[in-house]
Amino acid sequence: MTVDRPPKVSFVMPVFNETRTIEEILLQVQSVDLDKEIVIVDDGSTDGTRAFLTMVEECAKQTPATMKLPRKGCDLRVDNIRVFRQEKNRGKGAALRRGFQEAKGDIVVIQDADLEYDPGDYPKLVALIETEGADVVYGSRFLGDTHRVLLFWHYIRNKVLTLLSNMVTDLNLSDVWTCYKAFRREIIQSLDLHENRFGFEQEVTIKIARGGWQVYETAISYSGRTHGAGKKITWMDGVRALWCILRYGVFSSNSKPSRAKDAVQVMNCGGKHG
């Protein structure tokens, strides 16, 4: 990636206490053949993640810009990684806002620092924006023929919240709470976002619907982790999600979504679920 030419894709990665997975996910993202940058926002990590990212920054100044990974023992390309820091933990939504501000790519894709999602699905998300006229793409864990069986109550909570979301947005999404969302950069940077935690998912969905942009959905792989393995979303975030549906979709002075482009186009590209 040259210094003076913006990349095609910016992967925005919020990070909080991910020493167990940060090396592997960066290797996976770098392995995808796209013109890219990785924008990491450390959200006040206290487990050694911050020290690891400091090493990334130092190695990025060297030639060649590679880093020997302490756990994996292999080299990682770091010249296209930029690191930003929140001095204290503010939540995923706050970290994403910072990352969106810093992104330089034509397309912005959200990537969590865990291993629940497969970067091999990137080309499908990006292609829908580049060739199919999509403005926003949601990667759905519930489309396709084959998928990993999810926890029942997690699935029910997701489906109920997605149904309520669709009722206020007039979209027919199957998975509002997916991590994998891709946006044209000018769109995501134009949104006035406020939610600091996982309420971001609902807020951004309502504001995208209200803007009347063309939304697509495609099947992605998914390998969910448990709270014991580091999953951070809790039942309190479900309560907050309900509040966000009311706050942004019902109580807002401009709660009715635009009718200009109100249909979600589902592109089931045959992706299998992890």
For residue 150, give every residue at least 6 positions away whose Cβ sits within 8 Å of its Cβ, in sequence order, or none.
141, 222, 224
Residue 272 has pLDDT above 50, yes or no: no
Residue 166 near residue 202 (C-beta atoms within 8 A): no
Residue 200 has pLDDT above 60, yes or no: yes
Share of the chain above pLDDT 90, in %: 74
CA-CA-CA-CA dihedral for 101, 8, 63, 4, to nearest 10: -70
- Please state the rounded mean pLDDT for residues 62-80: 96
- Please state the rounded mean pLDDT for residues 72-79: 97
Q: What is the pLDDT of residue 241?
A: 85
Closest to 181 measured CA to CA, from 272, 111, 102, 105: 111
Query: pLDDT digit string (tens) for 88-98?
Result: 999 999 999 99
The class of domain 1-115 in CATH terms is alpha beta
**Assessment of whether the complete model's pTM goes beyond 0.75:** yes
Q: Within 13 Å of residue 199, how many CA atoms lie on the same side as its CB?
A: 21
Q: What is the pLDDT of residue 152?
A: 83
Q: What is the pLDDT of residue 151?
A: 76
Q: What is the pLDDT of residue 254?
A: 62
Q: What is the pLDDT of residue 148?
A: 67
Q: What is the pLDDT of residue 184?
A: 98
Query: pLDDT digit string (tens) for 82-122?
Result: 999 999 999 999 999 999 999 999 999 999 999 999 999 99
- Please state the rounded mean pLDDT for residues 205-219: 97
- Return the axis-axis angle of helices 200-211 and 152-169, rounded to nearest 10°: 30
φ and ψ at residue 246, rounded to 5 degrees: -70, -45
Q: What is the pLDDT of residue 230?
A: 47
Query: pLDDT digit string (tens) for 142-188?
Result: 887 666 667 788 888 889 999 999 999 999 999 999 999 999 999 99
Domain edges within the chain? 1-115, 143-178+187-274
Distance CA 83, CA 141 (A): 29
Q: What is the pLDDT of residue 271?
A: 42
Higher pLDDT, 272 or 60: 60
Across the chain, what does the average pLDDT equal? 88
SS3 of residue 7 by DSSP: coil
For residue 33, give every residue at least 6 positions away whose Cβ sits within 8 Å of its Cβ, in sequence order, or none.
none
Residue 239 has pLDDT above 90, yes or no: no
